[in-house]
């Protein structure tokens, strides 16, 4: 993340109506983990729990092991509406008849794409991998505590 927010790897590409095939391929490439092409999109999750789980697993690293070189950012999308093209993947999937990789199927319902940039003022929260993992640990303990507590209440 730079001083101005987030930028896609390609911040200049704009698709003309006659470039529909290229536009469709760019969306498919965005959700193809092995693709390392420079693309104009930034992918977003609409479900925080899904984003946290995805971050903890680091699937983009393949078989390299975990690295903790990521951050979870919460974006205020109302700050994108009038500045950056922003769209829901499932809408484009149907309209453009996209064929996304099978591994991306779990992302479709809650995925959004933003073209080129996310301004820094739209980023309202940043969590390190350690913070995300600590929340999972606290939630697990709390959930287990509730389970123990509920058993003890039933037994008395």
What averages of pLDDT result for each successive group of 10 residues across the chain (156 residues)?
Answer: 82 94 93 88 84 69 68 84 80 87 72 90 86 64 41 40
- Rounded Cα distance, 123 and 75, in Å: 5
- Helix locations, 4-128, DSSP H: 20-30, 48-57, 89-96
pLDDT at 81: 75
- Rounded Cα distance, 93 and 68, in Å: 31
pTM over 0.85: no
Q: Which residues pair with 115 in a beta bridge?
A: 41
Do 9 and 38 touch, CB atoms closer than 8 A?
Answer: yes
Do 92 and 118 touch, CB atoms closer than 8 A?
Answer: no
pLDDT at 93: 86
Residue closest to 75 by CA, chosen among 117, 33, 107, 41: 117
pLDDT at 45: 84
Residue closest to 133 by CA, chosen among 70, 62, 47, 61: 70
pLDDT at 59: 61
- Rounded Cα distance, 116 and 7, in Å: 6
> CA 4, 52, 48: angle at the middle one, nearest 5?
75
């Amino acid at each position: 993340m730079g001083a101005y927010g987030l930028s896609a790897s390609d911040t200049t590409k704009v698709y003309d109506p006659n470039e529909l095939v290229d536009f469709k391929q760019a969306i498919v490439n965005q959700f193809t983990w092995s693709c390392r092409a420079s693309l104009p999109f930034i992918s977003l999750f609409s479900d925080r729990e899904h984003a946290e789980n995805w971050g903890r697993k680091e699937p983009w690293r393949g078989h390299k092991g975990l690295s903790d070189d990521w951050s979870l950012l919460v974006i205020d999308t109302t700050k994108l509406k009038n500045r950056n093209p922003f769209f829901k993947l499932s809408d484009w999937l149907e309209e453009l008849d996209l064929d996304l990789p099978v591994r991306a199927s779990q992302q479709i319902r809650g995925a959004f794409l933003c073209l080129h940039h996310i301004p820094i003022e739209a980023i309202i929260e940043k969590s390190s991998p350690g913070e995300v993992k600590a929340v999972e640990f606290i939630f697990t303990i709390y959930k287990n505590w509730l389970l123990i507590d509920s058993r003890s209440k039933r037994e008395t």
